[in-house]
Structure 1
Amino acid sequence: MGEPVLELFLICLGVGVGAGLLAGALGLGGGVVIVPALIFLFHGLGFPPDLVAKMAVATSLSTIIITSISAVRTHHRAGYVRWPVAFRLGVGIVVGAFAGAFIADAMKGELLTRLFGLFAMLIALQMLLMGNRQVDDSLPERVPGALGLGIAGTLIGTGSAIFGIGGGSLTVPFLSWCRLKMQQAVAISSACGLPIAIAGTVGFAVAGWNEQHLPDGALGYVFLPATAGIVLTSFPFARLAARVSHRLPSATLKRVFAAVLFVLGLKLLFG
């Protein structure tokens, strides 16, 4: 399997570029690019079909650990991370992401893929409709208290782990609904991506620990050669994209965010 794995590693360097750009600029965590790419690559390598989707999701989460560190450092230095909000969301996120890994383990990969495609399209439409509204900066924020943020974090963490994403497609719309500025929503989403990725990765490693048909290089459902290839390029590109995002107006970020989600949703839903 040495030569195919080397080929996958090289391809994953390119996947990491796209994942890093999405993580840094849009708070997506890169999973919406990584998961479909890895499903295709793992099938090509001849991995057991029943394990492909689970391994793609688990490996995506493992790469987001590094990507989110790069992005959140840049957002923090720019002063956009609202840490009290991020910490309160994070409490629920850790619980939800760990549980989400086991929920995903119990589901079929094809169902996961199609559900995520539909979900991405719905979120994209919501963001487009919100982007067409006139933003009134005089409206007060409506951020929930600690309990409300903890519940929201649990739901975000569970959904993110199931689909192998950094949580941006859930966290950003939620924080936009809370009337936070888009730059702040993206920055907080990036900060929340780290606990999602760590808890989800650990969950998938534990859930797949006793699986008998995993390929060499797998830690539970996490395929380490793919993780290494993606991380090498996603880390620097996430940092670059995070810097660029601070110079864009909120309306532009919302349109780009929605367009990316809708196109990827179509691909995942209809193949």
Structure 2
Amino acid sequence: MTDIRVTEPPAHAEPRKLAGPRFRPGEAAFRALLLCCLGVGIIFLGVLLTYVLVEAWPRLDSRLWNNFPSIRRPERAGAQSAIFGTIWVVAFTALFCLPTGVMAAIYLEEYADPNRWYNRLIELNIQNLAAVPSIIYGILGLGLLARQLALGTTVLTAALTLSLLVLPVVIIASREAIRAVPQSIRQASLALGATQWQTIRRQVLPAAIPGIATGSILALSRAIGEAAPLLLLGAVTYVAFNPEGLESAYTVLPIQIFGWISQSREEFHHLAAAAIVILLAILLVMNAAAIWLRNRFSKRW
């Protein structure tokens, strides 16, 4: 037999050092490029917000939300009707599109057979509708809702049109949130004797609420800033009263901002900038609500 001898290192020998990470110029350049892109976006956002705040500062007072618009006296003009009109339209848009979008996502993700041709057609149409320009929905709302169904240029017409606009986004975001729930949760619930609907209602939906809330707020943020569809639907720039119901005339902040920017007097430009700040504040409140919901339900799961 051949003797195999193991040579041990001497006692005074130092341990071998592991080689450190190699420097890769391409990776470093790519990270620097990503940081530059991030910096450009932050800088432009900061410049935009600073410019808007500076322009809006002379009119950021109680006159803005206490007074109605005025063409002849801009020093006393406000945006109360546009603020209340925005709240009315966005509230009913959420009431119409969010339950419909979430239920459609539940059907497509939990019940629909992906091998059926009509389910594949529905999914294809939803993905295509998410990319349709908003002006097309304005034409649809004007021709179908306002004229054919005789709803007129009212809050109800605006809310239904914006619901159709953001509904594909709500469905896609809700489907992704439901799909992210692990299958083990569903299997464990079904193994314990729960029905499919009990599993969805008590296990899947609570776990998917953070993602659904985030997608829904993003969709409503798109709706709150739309002006093109509402211009076709008869949202006028001068409304000296607040909406009193779904059949009432209305105006919204994007339309009011557009009307003030079109004026030549500098006072109206300050008013437009102040209205932009109010619109951003409403968006921040909506995003804060979404973050609160996401954090609350994330702690449970």
TM-score interval for Structure 1 and Structure 2 normalised by the shorter chain = under 0.3
Could you say which structure has the higher helix fraction? 1
Scaled by the length of structure 2, what TM-score is found? 0.23
Scaled by the length of structure 1, what TM-score is found? 0.25
